[in-house]
Amino acid sequence: MVSVDFELRKKVMDAHIGDTLKYCYQCNRCTDVCPVSQIAPDRYNPRGNIMASFLGINLFMGQKDNFGIWGCTVCDTCDEICPQKIELTEIFTVLKNMSIAAGEGPDYYTTQASTIYDAGKAIPSQPAIERRREQLGLPKVEEPDVSEVQKILNVTKLNKILNK
Amino acid sequence: MTEYKMFQGCTIGNRIPFLEASARMVFDKLGIKTSEGPFACCPDPVGFNSVDHTSWLAMGARNLTIAEAEEKDIISLCNGCFQTLKLVNKELSHDEHEREKINKILGEVGKEFKGTINVKHFVEVLHEVGEEKIKESIKNDLSGLKVACHTGCHYNRPSEIVQTDDPLKPVKLREIVAATGATPVDYDEEVLCCGAGVGNTEEEPAMQILANKLSSAMNAGAEAIIVNCPACFQQFDTNQKKAEKQTGNSYGLPVLYVTELLALAFGMKPDDMGIKFHRTRPKDLLEKHNLA
């Protein structure tokens, strides 16, 4: 029995301001050009993700293998090729944000976000690289105001998402 | 003369700074002026945006306000930083509702996004400088060198917003490379992603995509891959051995940042730009073309 997840449907539709999503006629060009679908056709299918999104069928949460959404390599090729100008990658971002909020995203993503929260940078400065910069005659990288970054990310509630 | 705010990003600035060395040498030679700023992570359009879109917008907007305060455009050395800052700038400039929402957040730290500056990818800027000016600086003509150009995805897509180049047949990198005398080969998988994005989730498919790309470039006779993004650079350079191991193919294909190629053509020394820090070994290639 397939049931409609109205919350998923509302989130996807709200985020997609252009409202083009409902004009998808499942031509499959997105999947045809998708580099991940080419090598893993049984595991990642952007066309299927779009169909499920606009029907509100939640194929994405609570799965053991969530490669079905996290397999996206964010190359934006599907966006370019879509004859209906659907911004597929934006919809996939909504799905990924929901997956993270449900605590189901791959570790890489939450670990990186956590580093950005703590240091203001995805890759914090480190003494060995600072020395190498000096040897190469490069100026010091100016440090960001981390307290400002954290204030912002507390307002957006990223601290809650990351359990900080 | 325009001065840009330099946005080298976390990967180049704090992991592989030798790419910045060649960029600065080339900028100096061509009269492109830059200054530093206390920027945070752009943040990553693949990683951080997938975690929380609103946080991504707010962090990107904060970086933009730093350049706005000096009324200077940003020059990015990285596809990811470029795409994030360009997309955030566009979304907040054209969507009043989102701008109000983000400015309310930025208000907590006394900042306001105004949408008064532009964000440029360094390939755009080099292309604006032009073929003539590049040719004037060339000391080593690279004729005879065949290379595969790889712009990477976030340089030219989504094209409606970034407006840098053709989204599926980019030409600017090829034209810059051709100005050195080198020949950009045509290869089947030129617009294929390097695979780094999916690698955040699983390594195996990322290495398969990389291997397909490398095979295609080699079959077309390329002696090196030319890139303009540090994430693609790391994928081609750091991960090439992994792709070889997974597929049983043997590549040994050197990877050069386009600014390294230009710096070599301008007569600068490989040691001065830290080419020895590459994992793939360009030694034979440099010797063959009298660049060592």
Look at residue A37 and tell me whether its pLDDT is greater than 80: yes
* Residue A18's pLDDT band (cuts 50, 70, 90): low
Look at residue B154 and tell me whether its pLDDT is greater than 80: yes
Q: What is the mean pLDDT of residues B29-53?
A: 98
Look at residue A13 and tell me whether its pLDDT is greater than 90: no
CB B126 within 8 A of CB B167: no
- Please work out, in degrees rounded to the nearest 5, the angle formed at the alpha carbon of residue A53 by the alpha carbons of A49 and A55: 120
Cβ neighbourhood burial of B236 (10 Å; 0-12, 13-18, 19+): buried
User: Residue A21: its pLDDT value, please?
Assistant: 87
CB A78 within 8 A of CB B32: no
The neighbouring-strand residues paired with B149 are B226
CB B86 within 8 A of CB B115: no
Q: What is the mean pLDDT of residues B47-74?
A: 98
pLDDT cut 90: percent of chain B above it: 99
Give whole-number Cα distances, A102 to A98, B114, B145, B198, in Å.
6, 34, 51, 20
Q: Where are the domains of chain A?
A: 6-101, 107-161
Q: Which of A11, A115, A141 has the highest number of chain B CBs within 10 A, making it the mutation to test binding with B?
A: A141
CA B88 – CA B118 distance, rounded (Å) = 11
| A-chain residues near B273 (CB < 8 A) | 136
* Residue A15's pLDDT band (cuts 50, 70, 90): confident
Q: Token pair 């950009």 is at which residue?
A: B184
Over chain B, what is the mean pLDDT?
97
ipTM (interface predicted TM): 0.97
Look at residue A17 and tell me whether its pLDDT is greater than 70: no
Q: What is the mean pLDDT of residues B181-201?
A: 98
The residue of chain B nearest to residue A89, with distances taken between CA atoms, is B158
Q: Which of A110, A116, A23, A74 is nearest to B42 (CA)?
A: A116
User: Residue B57: its pLDDT value, please?
Assistant: 98
| B-chain residues near A108 (CB < 8 A) | 47, 200-201
Three-class SS of residue B188? Answer: coil
Domains of chain B listed by start with CATH number: 3-122 (1.20.1050.140), 139-288 (3.40.50.11810)
This model's pTM is above 0.95: yes
Give the other-Cβ count within 10 Å of B125's Cβ.
18
Q: Tokens for B32?
A: 């492109």
CA B206 – CA B210 distance, rounded (Å) = 6
* Inter-chain residue contact B44 with A112, CB threshold 8 Å: yes
**pLDDT tens figures, B248-259:** 999 999 999 999
**pLDDT tens figures, B93-109:** 999 999 999 999 999 99
Amino acid at B253: L
Three-class SS of residue B204? Answer: helix
The superfamily (CATH) of domain A6-101 is: Alpha-helical ferredoxin (1.10.1060.10)
CA A140 – CA A130 distance, rounded (Å) = 7
* Residue B79's pLDDT band (cuts 50, 70, 90): very high
